[in-house]
Amino acid sequence: MPQDLTVTGFDGITEAERAGLTTVRQPVLEKGRAAGRLLMDNADHGRPRTVTLDTELVIGTTAAAPKPVDQWYGP
């Protein structure tokens, strides 16, 4: 890695970031608050709703730029 494969984790786990794992950090506290608001909101209960939260991609040593198309399948 990352010559052939990019590995990505989620939630910005400190130990994984220390090891160089590329990760997506999510706002865990805000995600919980949003879930609580949705549960407590009695208006239109059961109606599908969308909540969008900011995330951050943290590039580690397990990611690299994509290979050119002519290198995808090797020699």
Number of structural domains (the chain) is 1
CA-to-CA dists, residue 30 to 11, 52, 56, angstroms? 13, 11, 14
Instruction: Examine residue 2 and state whether it is found in any structural domain, yes or no.
Output: no
Instruction: Examine residue 56 and state whether it is found in any structural domain, yes or no.
Output: yes
- The range of the structural domain enclosing residue 29 comes to 8-71
DSSP state of 23: E
DSSP state of 67: P
Render pLDDT for 22-58 as a digit per residue (tens, 0 to 9): 888 889 899 999 999 888 887 766 678 889 999 998 8
Pairing outcome for strands 56-58 and 22-25: antiparallel
Residues contacting 27, CB < 8 A, separation 6+: 53, 54, 55
Instruction: Examine residue 1 and state whether it is found in any structural domain, yes or no.
Output: no
User: pTM for the whole thing?
Assistant: 0.61
Structural tokens at position 39: 């549960």
Instruction: Examine residue 3 and state whether it is found in any structural domain, yes or no.
Output: no
- 22, containing H or E segment: strand 22-25
